[in-house]
Amino acid sequence: GFGLYCGSTFFGILFRGHLYFKTSDETRQKYLEWGSEPFQPNAKQTLKAYYEVPADCIDDAARLSALANEAIDVAAVPEG
């Protein structure tokens, strides 16, 4: 897989042809409504902060850009 960065901010993952963006409690809801799944690189590991971007969003440059910017904003907030 590949990590996606904006500067030093890690906001997304490209893994086996699927795109995942970092989410927060607030932004995750829309991914759940879309039926997106969290990033699961193997059977024993699930990263519940990263959710798959739906294909119809990937095909729409404006929507994809908005989601990427949202993920960058989420990732830029220090955890804790």
Strands (E), the chain: 2-6, 9-15, 18-22, 38-42, 45-52
Q: Which residue has the tokens 């220090």?
A: 78
SS3 content of the chain, % helix, strand, coil (to 5): 30, 40, 30
Q: Give CA 13 to chain center in angstroms.
A: 7
Q: What is the pLDDT of residues 23-78, one digit of tens each?
A: 999 999 999 999 999 999 999 999 999 999 999 999 999 999 999 999 999 999 88
Q: What is the pLDDT of residues 16-34, one digit of tens each?
A: 999 999 999 999 999 999 9
